[in-house]
Structure 1
């Protein structure tokens, strides 16, 4: 398999970490939807990353769809419960974390695209970002296990950890770890794991503001 997209995208990174945890071998092409837009377009007409090229040549796009496929082939080793309350709770955590990433990307692009930003839009993005973090902190505080749903990380842990790293690097002024101690401790434990450490790329500002998310 080939994973396409840079690790400084939280959407690409969560796929990479899942691949690493599941022990699935892949090559990595860190193509940017900015500088490598034409190459990315051959895989996804929306020019978004991540994309996952399967061994047979089929191309999967959108991180949620890619992760669903990885869980399918992983079987019992899947990174989310197959059903029931635990699955619904994990999907909720993932939805908040990925929604947080969406708003962080939107805020970043608004700040990059215009000399004068749209104040109402940026204020709304900041409000949504600042509302998501305590919601995740509360959810994490209710857990009594090392990771969200047991002794090993799953999709909820991956999504939240990738979101927090992107927050710290792309919007450091909005990141106050002291206000989210449970999340800070949780993310540190995840980042220390080889599966996470193997998928790290320092965040760099895009050269243009073409939408890129997965």
Structure 2
């Protein structure tokens, strides 16, 4: 199995961390959609990260679709998505807001770093930042409300923990100072615990 893409993408990183937690070996190819566009296009003509290639050569794209495929390849008790309907709904809620935070972080970074300053649209940036903060406000309430649970869905690390932690670290890395950790103590604590785990250490944000 191969995973193509850079670990500075939260979408690539969540797949890498999840595969490590699931105990699924893979070959990582750190190919950038920007710096190695032509090389990436030779692998996948749509140049989308992450690109996952199964042992039979089948390509999958979109991190959520990849993770759904991987989750159904392991025993039910080892899966990273809850099997109970109510718990699964809660997990999807957390993952949805975390992925939105990732998307808004990317959009802000693109607007600020790729578009000339004189062409940046201040109202658009303000809207993106409002959406980003709203996503993290929602997640902070949910994480703080997890109570005495070891992790967000119970006593073991699961996909909501991985995706929320990856999203938080990504925003802090890409947009330092935009989302202040002091305002989000529950998220910062969750991220700190997750980032200390071998699966996260083995997939460093580059």
Answer whether TM exceeds 0.5 for this pair.
Answer: yes
Distance 2:42 2:130 in 1: 36
Which position in structure 2 is the counterpart of 1:37?
37
Q: Under a length normalisation based on structure 1, what TM-score does the superposition of the two structures give?
A: 0.91
Which position in structure 2 is the counterpart of 1:151?
155
**Aligned match of 1:161 in 153, 162, 165?**
165
Which position in structure 2 is the counterpart of 1:121?
124
Q: Cα distance, 1:129 vs. partner?
A: 0.7
Give the SS at the match of 2:3: strand
Q: Cα distance, 1:75 vs. partner?
A: 2.6
Checking the alignment, whether the CA contact within 8 Å between 1:93 and 1:156 is kept in structure 2 is: yes
Residue pairs, 1:79-158, within 5 angstroms: 79-112=80-113, 113-116=115-118, 117-143=120-146, 144-158=148-162
Q: Under a length normalisation based on structure 2, what TM-score does the superposition of the two structures give?
A: 0.94
**Aligned match of 1:172 in 170, 173, 176?**
176
Checking the alignment, whether the CA contact within 8 Å between 2:13 and 2:205 is kept in structure 1 is: no
Checking the alignment, whether the CA contact within 8 Å between 2:133 and 2:179 is kept in structure 1 is: no
CA-based RMSD: 1.1
Q: Cα distance, 1:83 vs. partner?
A: 4.4
Q: Which runs of 5+ in 2 are unaligned?
A: none
Q: Aligned residue pairs: how many?
A: 202
Distance 1:10 1:201 in 2: 8
Q: Which runs of 5+ in 1 are unaligned?
A: 203-214
Distance 2:199 2:60 in 1: 22
Which structure's relative contact order is higher, taking Cα pairs within 8 Å and 6+ residues apart?
1
Give the SS at the match of 2:117: coil
Q: Cα distance, 1:69 vs. partner?
A: 0.5
Checking the alignment, whether the CA contact within 8 Å between 1:33 and 1:49 is kept in structure 2 is: yes
Give the SS at the match of 2:149: coil
Give the SS at the match of 2:74: helix
Could you list the per-position Cα deviations for residues 33-88 of structure 1 after superposition, in whole angstroms to 9, with x for gaps in the alignment? 01111232234333110011111111111101100001110131110113411001
Distance 1:103 1:18 in 2: 22
Distance 1:114 1:28 in 2: 33
Distance 2:121 2:189 in 1: 35
